[in-house]
Amino acid sequence: MDGDGSKLPRVDGGKDAWLFLVGCFVFEALVWGFPFSFGVFETYYTDNLPFSQHPNGIAAIGTCSSGGMYLIAPLTLHILEAWPSVRRLSSIFGLIVVTTALVASSFSTQVWHLILTQGCLYAVGGSFLYAPTMFYLDEWFVLRKGLAFGIMWAGVGTAGVIFPFILTSILNAHGFATTLRVWAIAMLALCTPLIYFVKPRLPVPAPSHPRQKISYAFFTTRTHISLQLCNILEGLGFFLPAIYLPSYAQSLNLPPIAGTVLLATLNIFSVLGSIGMGFLCDHLQVTTVISISTLGATLSVFLLWGFATKLPLLITFAATYGFFAGGFSAIWSGMMKEVQRVSKDAKIGTLMGLFAAGRGIGAVLSGPVSEVLLRSGHFGSGGEQARFGYQTKYGVLIVFTGVSVVFGMLCFGAKRNRV
């Protein structure tokens, strides 16, 4: 019962909770699906004027949009945790900024214009648009929180199955400017009703309600440090397959549709991975779940991508990596629960913001780092003559991705000492 005696909707199930989760799933798909489908833009910008004349920095567009949303998360989530009454306004403000960013990017003539608009400005808007769902989901799901987060985050994988085909079609037919304007209209039309329907379960405090006190005492605990380090370092290579698989396929002279198929496969299995890893976090120790994700992703990079120069093996890699690595964000629910076990005052918004920022550090750094690695040379002949992925100019990226994923094993620092 709430304060006036009316009955609150059921938690962890029931029509209201599941409808809310469906809304969050679609919200996730719209906000995050666009930057996570950047691989098709990377290929287009690299091959077409005016950006192909000076292509340095193109990869940073994608990492700034997705990584930027992660990095801004501590600020947006801190504001919304301290002042719950502004959560609805946050989504409206975010939608206006996202739409503005997409329209402004359509007028770009240089790569740095795209970095500022399609990259950074989109990230600011996306963060404020999306952040309130974190708090609402925590109210609707308690015992099934891991599964609920996994289903919600599966939205980006589902979008990644559909969006690359749509974006590729519009890009090839009408160019980048029209594509970005069409996407701005679609975001405005689809997100507006979701802002109304994706709502809190509990009554929202009045604006005059005192500011919520937020504790950061957990920050220096071994548990948080170990989990955060594995989160940051694993994120350094996490985004590279989604960014470079289309270009990699093109360098091997595979059919033009191959890159889009690979992105779609990666994202299909990311959906399954998100739900699976989230479910496991409700039933297993978080270090066990991270180990499963890390081992599967590492083997897929070194044994599949490293030897893949034909489409069937590349599809197998995309499926395997998508399942084991694509569901990593769903493990945050287990990480947050582990930190809260040793630090009772740690709040979900604060923890979510810090883990998202850690992921963002890896995402933003991966763009310039990957470009430096690509310019540094390759392991072999490259191109269609290469027998293995290691022999192409992308070989150094394959090794870098695999090594970064291995750092997920740092999570055992949290298991050995819980404080």
Q: Is residue 8 part of a domain?
A: no
Among candidates 85, 95, 152, which has minimal Cα distance to 122?
95
With contact defined as beta carbons under 8 Å apart, do 242 and 135 qualify? no
Q: Is residue 4 part of a domain?
A: no
Q: Is residue 135 part of a domain?
A: yes
Q: Is residue 330 part of a domain?
A: yes
With contact defined as beta carbons under 8 Å apart, do 87 and 139 qualify? no
Count helices and strands (H / E) in the chain: 17, 0
Range of the domain at 305: 15-416
CA distance 321 to 305: 9
What CATH number has the domain bearing residue 97? 1.20.1250.20
**Quick one: CA torsion of 110, 111, 114, 120, rounded to 10 degrees?**
-130
Tokens representing 234 are 């694993």
Q: Is residue 9 part of a domain?
A: no
Distance of CA 374 to the CA centre of its chain: 23
Total domains in the chain come to 1
Q: Is residue 140 part of a domain?
A: yes
**Conformational region of residue 57, where left means phi above 0, alpha means psi within -120 to 50, and beta covers everything else:** left
Q: For residue 4, give Cα distances in angstroms to 7, 205, 206.
A: 9, 14, 15
Determine phi and psi for 386, rounding to 5 degrees: -70, 135
Q: Is residue 3 part of a domain?
A: no
Q: Is residue 191 part of a domain?
A: yes
Spell out the per-residue pLDDT of the chain, length 419, in tens: 444 445 788 888 788 888 889 888 988 899 988 988 887 888 889 888 888 888 788 878 887 888 788 888 888 988 888 888 888 899 999 999 999 999 999 999 999 999 999 999 999 999 999 899 888 888 888 888 888 888 888 888 788 788 888 998 999 999 999 999 999 999 999 999 888 888 888 887 666 556 667 778 888 888 888 888 888 888 888 888 887 888 899 888 899 889 888 988 988 898 899 889 988 988 888 889 988 999 999 999 999 999 988 999 999 999 999 999 888 888 888 888 889 888 888 888 888 888 888 888 877 787 788 888 888 765 555 555 667 888 888 888 999 999 888 877 776 655 554 44
Among candidates 10, 24, 33, 341, which has minimal Cα distance to 166?
33
